[in-house]
Structure 1
Amino acid sequence: MLDVAEHLLRWIKAEQDFAVATVVAVSGSAPRQPGAALAVDAEGTAVGSVSGGCVEGAVYELCQEALDSGRSVVQRFGYSDEDAFAVGLTCGGVIDILTTPVRRDDPHRPLFASALAAVCADEAVALARVIDGPDSYIGRALLMRADGSVEGTLDGAAELDQVVAAEARALLDVGHTATITVGADGSYCGQPLRLLVECSAPPPRMIVFGAIDFAAALVRLGKFLGYHVTVCDARPVFATRRRFEEADEVIVEWPHRYLEAVDVDHRTVLCVLTHDAKFDVPLLERALRLPVAYVGAMGSRRTHEDRVKRLREAGTTDEELARLRAPIGLNLGARTPEETALSIVAELVASRRGGDGSPLTGTGSRIHHDTSAH
């Protein structure tokens, strides 16, 4: 649905009825990924695509049927061995498509309008819709914004809404659309609920300061976790594309000057690996005053003590210093660049999800934590 937000918002403002078909799952080779959408209004106008042409005609008809019936339905399309030109994916893949009518009398229409308006305003949002479960639940929706606020309800029960919102927040943090299953034990409505969580958000930023071997390992893990990764260093001999092929950007600039010029937000993580006072102090002085998710700095405890002294002299407050994770990373006993990078991203995940980094073995603590979005 969010894939064609501008068109759908115009239809809502014009008080038009429409149906939208959204890819909810893909297996094998398929031209479009979860979240891709095709929509048809009451006059037969179509926008978007779910398959690049393979099954568009059949999905178009599904949208028209949904408009007539007022019911959401999930349909599977796959390759036809008997006739490659029959309705199916000739590329050999299988896709599941959720078709949802959005008529003027639909109680979810205002919620959809909020989601579409947010996307058109470049806001980060996650829209969760039930695609499998009891018939009375199909099509119910929940909207979660980047600030953690939630609109709508799945069944009026705070517990279910909180669980889904937490799962949606995790996907929104990395800008990933996917299906989730909650209540596998039937704890909410007697059977599991499967939901499509559509996320509209750019990937969060990871900015790594210091073009060293540890940075190269951190770049690889940062990309693996879904970050848009930038490496910044003032030394052109070290900050090269050849050394950091997997980074999205390699910037040659004094770290504090780059930080002053770049846009950051509440999901941004800053990893300072320079452990050199002439770079660290002016950079951290600015970083600790920004509304970012995480600020960590590499260095020994002695280096950190000297760093804190210099930061205090530069006017950094105790409250600001309390935000600094240093020495950076969890205590894993790491020695190699790869092990150190693992300790850093482990701390990032723990910070984002509310974990404390302790072993789960032998404890009764919760595995998953509900935290506000970062």
Structure 2
Amino acid sequence: MPRRWLNAFWPLMCGRTGWWPLPWPRAPMCCTRRIMKEIYKEIIKLSHDEGVSVLATVVRQGGPAPRGVGAKCLLRSDGTMAGSVGGGMLEAKTLDAAREVMKTGRPRRLGFSLKGTDVAETDMLCGGDVEVFLEPVVPSHAVHRALARELERIERRGGMGLLCTVLDTDQWEGGRVPRLFLGSDGRRAGDLDQSGGLERALQERFSPLSTLRRPGIFSLEQDSGTVEVYLEPVSAEPVLYVFGGGHVSRQVVPLAALVGFPVVVVDDREEFADAGQFPEAREVRCMPFGGVMARLPVDVHAFVVIVTRGHLYDKEVLGQALRTEARYIGMIGSRRKRDLIYKRLLEEGFTEEDLARVHSPIGLDIGAETPEEIAVSIVAELIDVRARG
């Protein structure tokens, strides 16, 4: 269904009257994270390019729009493009402005109104407002290289951080690049201002860094006045650990990989821990389930799916998973099986609060019966949890 039709029918579907569009759902963090990763991979590839590219980012969205805050596109110095800020008129005007930024080397803030006469002759009757920030990028510049390396490091090794960009175009004078990366482990790259006042204000407002969950524009105070900055939380794609290499896993893994989860499969039997059975997995490991969590980097962003071959192994893995900070823990099985395992875990000292973290029976309740249907219900639940940020 075209978006303009959905905008018209959205109020009616939600029980509202009238023909005005409701606020369009924001892009989930997983999408903006993936977009950022791909764009900065492109910048790393261009690290020996002395030409000027332009990075366009949707920094503000009010009402329905083709893409949410965090959407990006990179116009390379050779005229080719990666990513998208929404297509249609919005993207065409963004690219026109990007070519001007490429010539002048000065950033620009570009506002769009996707309603009324501005878009009457186009197919973009979304009804919202969008602001795009266009910044010159010289991939060989020390700041851009350092920022790209830090983002690549997080993607490879995990962790999290905050990427800050000053939107005041005057502060980009003289070839300055007022951008800063702050890692949760204390690593940093770039700077916002020579005095350090903006960085201090940033750290005071967002400490710890994890308090910021979604990208957006924020105002920071410094001696010379208020400065608007665009902040993006940065973290690696959440890894999905699938324990058990049986028939359900063989359906879950390709579907989870398709929607953006890096997947690690673990089984204690060599014939089931077979990479040939899981070509979409990032890694397939054969190891005993006893003490398995101590040998895997299961962190606060991780998703854990427990689909082993029996109650004893499910209980073994679940008990270990509950001692981690994993964001999602799901276990397959009937309610009767779940209750038996819960009873034993309570006897071992776990609490009802601990068990409340577990999604079991795993997956959304869609009446799934076959392995393929069960996989759909499981991955749908993973998407739901991930999208909530």
TM range (shorter): 0.5 to 0.7
Conserved in 2, the CA contact under 8 Å of 1:143 and 1:152? Answer: yes
TM-score normalised by structure 2 residue count: 0.51
Corresponding position of 1:73: 108
C-alpha distance in 2 between matches for 1:117 and 1:91: 35
Deviation at 1:265, TM superposition (A): 2.5
Conserved in 2, the CA contact under 8 Å of 1:23 and 1:95? Answer: yes
Higher RCO (CA 8 Å, separation ≥ 6 residues): 2
Aligned with 1:140 (options 178, 196, 202): 178
Conserved in 1, the CA contact under 8 Å of 2:115 and 2:126? Answer: no
C-alpha distance in 1 between matches for 2:217 and 2:353: 30
| 1:108 pairs with 2:143 | yes
Change (3 A) 1:261 1:162: closer
Matches within 5 A, 1:233-248: none
Aligned with 1:149 (options 177, 184, 187): 187
C-alpha distance in 2 between matches for 1:189 and 1:27: 29
Give the helix-richer structure, 1 or 2. 2
Matches within 5 A, 1:1-374: 2-84=37-119, 89-103=124-138, 106=141, 108-115=143-150, 117-118=152-153, 121=156, 123=158, 125-133=160-168, 135-136=170-171, 140-145=178-183, 147-155=185-193, 156-157=196-197, 159-163=200-204, 166=207, 168-171=209-212, 177-183=214-220, 186=221, 189-197=224-232, 199-203=234-238, 265-268=298-301, 282-283=316-317, 286-287=320-321, 307-308=348-349, 327=351, 329=353
Deviation at 1:164, TM superposition (A): 6.2
Change (3 A) 1:294 1:164: farther
Helix, strand or coil: the match of 1:181? strand
The one-letter amino acid of 2:299's match is H
Unaligned runs of 5+ in 1: 208-227, 229-255, 272-276, 309-325, 331-336, 342-374
Helix, strand or coil: the match of 1:13? coil
TM-score normalised by structure 1 residue count: 0.52
Deviation at 1:21, TM superposition (A): 0.4
Change (3 A) 1:289 1:180: same
Change (3 A) 1:283 1:118: closer
The one-letter amino acid of 1:178's match is P
Deviation at 1:50, TM superposition (A): 0.5
Which deviations, in whole Å up to 9, do the C-alpha atoms of 1:271-314 show, x marking residues without a partner?
9xxxxx9789844764487686899xx9xxx9999525xxxxxx
Change (3 A) 1:13 1:290: farther
Helix, strand or coil: the match of 2:181? strand
Conserved in 2, the CA contact under 8 Å of 1:22 and 1:99? Answer: yes
C-alpha distance in 1 between matches for 2:183 and 2:224: 25
Helix, strand or coil: the match of 1:98? strand
C-alpha distance in 2 between matches for 1:260 and 1:104: 40
Corresponding position of 1:321: none
The one-letter amino acid of 1:170's match is T
Helix, strand or coil: the match of 1:100? strand
Helix, strand or coil: the match of 2:165? strand
C-alpha distance in 2 between matches for 1:165 and 1:16: 35
C-alpha distance in 2 between matches for 1:280 and 1:120: 30
C-alpha distance in 2 between matches for 1:58 and 1:41: 16
Change (3 A) 1:16 1:128: same
**Residues matched between the structures, number:** 265
Which deviations, in whole Å up to 9, do the C-alpha atoms of 1:31-87 show, x marking residues without a partner?
212222111122222222101233222111221222222222221112252253668
Helix, strand or coil: the match of 2:207? helix
The one-letter amino acid of 1:12's match is S
Deviation at 1:2, TM superposition (A): 4.0
Unaligned runs of 5+ in 2: 1-35, 243-260, 262-288, 305-310, 330-338, 358-389
The one-letter amino acid of 1:140's match is P
Corresponding position of 1:323: none
C-alpha distance in 2 between matches for 1:8 and 1:27: 29
Larger deviation: 86-95 or 37-46? Answer: 86-95
Q: What's the % identity of the aligned pairs?
A: 22
Helix, strand or coil: the match of 1:191? strand
C-alpha distance in 2 between matches for 1:46 and 1:57: 12
The one-letter amino acid of 2:65's match is A
The one-letter amino acid of 1:109's match is H
Change (3 A) 1:111 1:62: farther
